[in-house]
Each structure stands twice: as C-alpha cells, then as structure tokens.
Structure 1
C-alpha cells in the first residue's frame, strides 16, 4: 500500500511514496525556480510545472507500481490562468511573492475591500484583464493544486480545498464558498473558479496517470506541514524555517471573524474533512533563510549556507552584536513593510563569525516573537515548538531558537514535512488512520534541543524599534 505525493514548492517539484507508517521513499525531484523579470515580479512556468508533475508521477508508477491514491501539496496563493480548450496557461503563473498588484490592492482598500498582493484574488484579475478583458474566452483560474489536478485528470477534475481557497482572498469567512461580492468586484466569473471541496476524501480521478488513481488529498504547504509534524491538536505548534518562516497552531472551533488578529496572526483553514473545517492561526516572518543567503551571496562570508553553522559556533556568543532580520519589512506581530534590517553593536573586534552568529540569533528571536503572538491570539499553551525547513539543519540556529523561546525545540525527522503530511492525510482517506487528530500520536522528533541560555530582551526590543518605519510610506501600508 502506498500514496503518491506530488509536492510543489517555491524552488522545486518532487514526488515521493508514503507508506502506512508515515515513511517516505522513492523521491524524485526537479528544479522549478521562480523567474524574476524585474524587481517585485515573481513568475513561474506553469506549463512546464504540469509537464514535470506528469513525468515524475509516471516515472514513480512505472518504478513502484500503481498507488492507492494521490496527494497534492503546494505553495499557496501562486496563481495560474489557462485556456481549457488547449490546456495551456495564457501567461506565466504569478507567484505568491509577486507584488505587481500592490497598487490595485491599495485602490481596493480605499473602496473597503481588504486584499493583499500575496492573495490570489488580484493576480487572477490581473491576468484576466490582460488576456480576456471582456471575459468571453471562458478561461479557468486556480492555484497550483487546481491546475495540476486539472492537467493530471485531463480536465475532468476542477477542484481546490479549503486550505488553499482560504489563502486566495476570494472566499466567504467560512472558506466553504466563493464570495460573490469579491468576485463580482474583480469581475472573476464564477464558472472560472474550481469547486471548493474537502482537503481529504475522494476528490476526483487523475485519468492521465496509469490506473487512473483517485485524488485523495489536497493541501497547502503549511497545513500539510502541520499534519506532517503532528501539530493537529490544540497546544501543538510547528514552524517551518525556509526562505521565510511560518508558524502555525491548531485552533479547533469556529473561525475568528477578524482578517488579522490582535497580535498580528491570520486565521487560516487548516483542513476540511466531511465538510467540517479545522482552523489554525498563522504567524509570518517575511525573511528567514534569506538572511543567510545574504551573508553567503552578497557579503561572501562563506561559500555554502551550511557553513554558517560552524562559523557561528566558532565563537561563544555574538559579542553584543544584534541583528534584526527585515530586508522585506517585519511581519507578525509588527506588520511594518517599511522596516529594514539593522545590525547593531559592532566594534573593531567584531568578526564575520560574530556577525553570522548575530544573524542566526536574530532569526531565532523573530521566531520567538511569532510564537508569543500565536500563543496570545490562540490562547494555546505551547510547551515545545516543532520545526522543519532548511534552517532546522543548522545546530547553532536551533539552539538559539530554543534559548529565544525558553522551551524545547523538536526537530522534524524529515527536512520538509509537507510531503509527509500529504501522505498521512491521504492515509486518513484510505482508512490507514482513524482521523487527522489521531496523527498526533505518530510524532517522533529526530532531536529535542533544550534551552541553555537566554537573550537580552530589552536590547532586542530597542533594536526592533530602531529598524521600524525606515520607509514611512511603506510603513503606512496596511493589508
């Protein structure tokens, strides 16, 4: 028995097989790097993404046999518009980081419609306005999960799930239907949008794959990571430290009505089973691993991102140096798009090791801010933080995170828990497990890192204050 998982990240697409014990095997991966034609624009080749998914899935089936079902996990809010008569996208897809519609969002905000440029909503409208101004072509719109399901089914399956739909900006508060007021305002035809279904169950068949396996799970990447790390019950939280960082905590019950909660978190649909949605709160760091890439690529302090660990560990502490990571502004809890990174406390004796350690510790202290915000907004009592993502391999960072949050950090047994979560969700649909909450019992961290020290909270708060409102016009933007 196995599930075939198709996992689309920001930089690659991979397939793997999940077994009933939650283990993964047979991974195949190809790069799928975003394209940045000009600053602020982030595009991707959706047609090539579809071809790669079909090829990798076919190779997996030829090598390992027909799966019991398929799961799709994906970067959220990235948007494709395509012609159903040809199956081809009308233009490059717009990635979730793409900012070309920020002006549209500001105009809509002045009219009382609150949308962010990282939502799918204005991306869809932008593509439709450019390629089907009078809406006569019958173009289809969707996030990556929808596009791949459509491609792999030969056009027979046109669906999304609550975890992805809730990130589009186009749904009702309950994320169970499209919001007619919003789609009418943006002139997005209802027929152009997929059906919002459950996150797991029999969601359709993928007829272009051998044996036409059923599509059993569709999940946004962070929600899949929650499932993969067992953060599926109250008081359990996970954080993924990649290019940016997302911290998510399960919050069963009704969805909060606020678009953004008091401490700067966002309510999101975690997953939907049998029409019942489980909600979560998400705290966001706009830049995490990007700061290590800056040290590597721009300052050239080391040759490989992994080298940052040994370099930072070569000194006992940062010698009073403090770094606030904000190259794109500050997310939760501050939400200051005009903030910019700051490096404080430099002396003649400061070395590249001190600076590298300060950068890792700065990301860790921002992680502590995310956790504090999530606890404040959810009322959860989180006794340990589960982490995955590229930075979870950095021992200096993980120790700094444990020190910053003053509680244990539990490191995921797989670097990227997204695919594992998709496989486990499909396993629930197959009856391998009783329910999504039952998956909490499968969590076994690869390592538990206990705090061994603490940071100067007053110095950190002062550094954050100083980097704020560096560009007042950007700081005034609210989404």
Structure 2
C-alpha cells in the first residue's frame, strides 16, 4: 500500500537521512509511511490527530495502554526504533523525520527504557495491581535473552525466517552492507546492534512438507536429510519471496541446482537445510565487515535450532562454535530478564548470566578448503537466483 510512497521518498533523496538517524532503510515494512497513509486516507484522522484525539504506537504501546486502563501511552526504545521516526543516537522522536512524514508529535508514545517499571496494571484485571517491568521488540529481547550484552556477541533466531543480531556496543554506526542498525536492550548506557533478516528459513521445510509432500511433518526433515552423507551437489536457494539481507533482491526467486538422475528426496531435504545455514552465514559475514569484529561464537534459538544436523552444518560453514541454550524460546526469556532486573528480582547482568545455561555446543568439523568450495558453489547458485523476475 505504501511501496510507491517509499519509492518517492528514496527518489527524493531521503534514504541517507533516514538511515543516518534511524539505522533503517526506507521500507513499507516500518511504521512511518503506514501512519502517513492512514492520516491522509482515513476520513477525519488527521484532524483528530492534530486535536490530540488519536494515539499511535506499536503493539507494546497498545498492550500497556489496555493494561493500565489508558493511564499510560508509552513504548520502549527498541520498539520505537522500528518506526522510522526515532533518532536512535539520542533515543528521542526526531522533529525532522516527523516533518518529512508529516506526523504530529502529539500522537506518539513516551519513549522509556526496555527494563523499567512502566506502571501497574488495573487492579481488576488480575486481582490486584501488577508491575509492568519491561517491554522490548522480539529480536532485541532474544538478543538480551541470549545474554549477548558484550561487543561482538551474536545470536540467530531460526523460525519461519531468520533474524541475526550482533551487539556492536555503545558507538552508533550505520551499515555499509545493507544491514539495519537498531537499539539493543540495555540496563546501562545505550547499546546498538546490527540486524539482518533471512526471509525463508523454516518456511522451506514447510514447502517440502506441504508443496512437495517429501515429508509428512516438519519433524521428519532431520532424519530424512541425515540419511545421506551430503547433498550430492544439490543447492537450493529458497528465495520464494526474494532475498533479504544482505542481498535485498525482491526479484530473486527460488532455485534448485545440481539435480541429477540420482538425486533423491533426502538430497533435496539436506540441500534445503544447508540453504538456511548458507543464508545466515552471508548475513554474519556482512556483520563482521560492518563491525570490523570477528564473531567467535553464534548463540541460536527458535524452533529450527532444535535440528542438530542444521546446527552442525551452521557451525561447519561459519567455522565457529554454535551454542544452543537450554531455553530456546529466548524472546520470552529476555522479557523475563528485563522485568526481573527492573523489579529487583535480579540485581545486575551478572545475575542473569549465571541463570543462562548451555544445552549443546556444535563445534566446526569441516576443513577450510571444503568450506571455501561449498560457499563458492552457493554464491554461484545465488547469482543464478537473483533478478529472475523482470522488474518491468
């Protein structure tokens, strides 16, 4: 709905301004152009907004509003940083951006720290008032839940897609590799993270199940892929919806290469899992380049992180240990850490570091020459998948 608006803003030269102030690239995924469209197209919306009768916020703002009976209109810095309206250098709504998008400041929620006592809930909701002790975006919460609170620590969440974040510390920097810069959850000085998203990860397994019927349930994929020693030269680029970071090619499409008469369902299943790991490796390479930091380990979470074959191949192709915690639902764990710190249940980061536990470490086992060869072939497969659809 607002893609054309985003094209116009980019053509007018606003992309550098937006990236410099927000860490984001102009895209209809973020809130600003959606809000501008609503104000322009919903009858009476702009007039009511300017009269102070409309409030805007992300889902956390709505929840806080409802839980407090409308007493508090607030958000945290990480959710605010995804609106394309927050200056993430100073942590405040940016007047220049509000002017560009023509959005009244009066609509916006108060920006608060992620670990903070926002307010208490209405007593009648839960039989008494309960402190609201934290709020965060899901990926920033997962980064915090993985205890990635030091520079260079990185995590990847394996779900339908993948979301990789790397802590880059207190110094703000924009990406030269088409990644996003975001605010991280902190309990001290402001910290930043680089973020890269992979559009299709676990969704490729769903396609093997629902589209091809190779497996009856997603849980069968590991055993099937593990029944062969390797993919026998098959590469699957799951660009079903284009390619995300760091390629950002909306015209790419899914591609399978290297098929022979001997190719089996098992080879395709293995190539699908390996395609997930290759995409994550591309994102992490971009992060290392931007941050000028090596990644010494990768902490993993999300449903697909339970797949041992995928995690081992991820460690192999990255050349660093992949660490899976006991609790892989780290977004929820991060939210608990934030609330526990603000309420005094835990005193500081050292307390939560002692709570976090490793379930399994996957050590790289592939030779450097094999990794280089495999990644070269992956890059060739990527090249053939890109710009498949005619932009015209």
TM-score (norm 1): 0.74
Query: What is residue 283 of structure 1 aligned with on the other side?
Result: 196
Question: 1:472: how far off?
Answer: 4.8
Partners of 1:172 and 1:117 lie apart in 2 by 18
Partners of 1:296 and 1:418 lie apart in 2 by 27
Query: What is residue 233 of structure 1 aligned with on the other side?
Result: 150
Closer, same or farther: CA 431–134 of 1 in aligned 2, 3 Å: closer
1:162–1:272 Cα contact (<8 Å) kept: no
Residues 181-221 of structure 1: CA deviation (Å, up to 9, x unaligned): 22233332211110111111221222244322121111111
What secondary structure is seen at the aligned counterpart in 1 of 2:155?
A: strand
Aligned residues: 371
Q: 1:343 aligns with which of 244, 256, 263?
A: 256
1:425–1:436 Cα contact (<8 Å) kept: no
Residue 432 in structure 1 maps to residue 345 in structure 2:
yes
Partners of 1:472 and 1:166 lie apart in 2 by 34
Q: Which has the higher strand share?
A: 1
Residue 172 in structure 1 maps to residue 97 in structure 2:
no
Query: What is residue 243 of structure 1 aligned with on the other side?
Result: 160
Closer, same or farther: CA 217–203 of 1 in aligned 2, 3 Å: same
1:232–1:437 Cα contact (<8 Å) kept: no
Query: What is residue 144 of structure 1 aligned with on the other side?
Result: 59
Segment of structure 1 superposing worse, 451-460 or 159-168: 451-460
Q: Which has the higher helix share?
A: 2
Alignment of structure 1 residues 349-388 onto 2, 5 Å? 349-388=262-301
Alignment of structure 1 residues 75-474 onto 2, 5 Å? 100-114=1-15, 115-133=26-44, 135-137=46-48, 138-174=53-89, 176-207=91-122, 208-256=125-173, 258=174, 261-273=175-187, 276-436=189-349, 439-453=352-366, 454-455=370-371, 456-473=374-391
Closer, same or farther: CA 414–447 of 1 in aligned 2, 3 Å: same
Question: 1:133: how far off?
Answer: 4.4
2:301–2:324 Cα contact (<8 Å) kept: yes
Unaligned 5+ runs, structure 1: 1-99, 475-479
Query: What is residue 49 of structure 1 aligned with on the other side?
Result: none
Partners of 2:216 and 2:90 lie apart in 1 by 45
What secondary structure is seen at the aligned counterpart in 2 of 1:216?
A: strand
Unaligned 5+ runs, structure 2: 16-25
Question: Stretches of 4+ moved more than 6 A in 1?
Answer: none
2:196–2:245 Cα contact (<8 Å) kept: yes
Question: 1:418: how far off?
Answer: 0.5
Question: 1:441: how far off?
Answer: 4.4
Residues 41-78 of structure 1: CA deviation (Å, up to 9, x unaligned): xxxxxxxxxxxxxxxxxxxxxxxxxxxxxxxxxxxxxx
Closer, same or farther: CA 132–194 of 1 in aligned 2, 3 Å: farther
What secondary structure is seen at the aligned counterpart in 2 of 1:196?
A: strand
Query: What is residue 19 of structure 2 aligned with on the other side?
Result: none
Question: 1:134: how far off?
Answer: 5.2
Superposition RMSD in Å: 1.8
1:226–1:248 Cα contact (<8 Å) kept: yes
